[in-house]
Amino acid sequence: MYLEDFNLSHKRERTPEGQGFELDYDRYSGRLNRKFANADEWWNSYSDLAQEEWGKFSRQQDLLEKVNGDHRLAWIIAHFVGESYEHWLTRDDIDGLGGYSPSECLETTWGVKRLRMLFMQMAC
């Protein structure tokens, strides 16, 4: 067996756009028992909980660069993942992200929704 074959056979199956956590994000507004008008308001309220802790995080600038300047996502990652965020951003085995790494999710709107839902589901 060639090394290339071994690597390919162990790649995670990817959940395509429109078939993952982003659907839950987009459908939130239609839920009858929702607390917020839409998923963006839910996200903003949820991420606000981590803002105070952000002030104590030692690698703010680096994490902000890695999440394309998304302050709210940086606050949440710092809160839940902490200083090991660089490794976490490269993992493609995180349930809920459909075989994509967090870094890959940051490249698309639907991927960012998956990241948001990953964290918001922790609150449920």
In this predicted structure, the answer to whether residue 9 has a pLDDT above a threshold of 70 is no
> Residue 68 CB: number of other CB atoms within 10 A?
11
In this predicted structure, the answer to whether residue 62 has a pLDDT above a threshold of 50 is yes
**Sequence-separated (6 or more) residues with CB below 8 Å from residue 104:** 92, 111
Between 38 and 8, the more confident residue is 38
d(CA 103, CA 105) in angstroms, rounded, equals: 5
d(CA 38, CA 23) in angstroms, rounded, equals: 13
Over the stretch 110-119, which tens digit does the pLDDT of each residue have?
A: 999 999 999 9
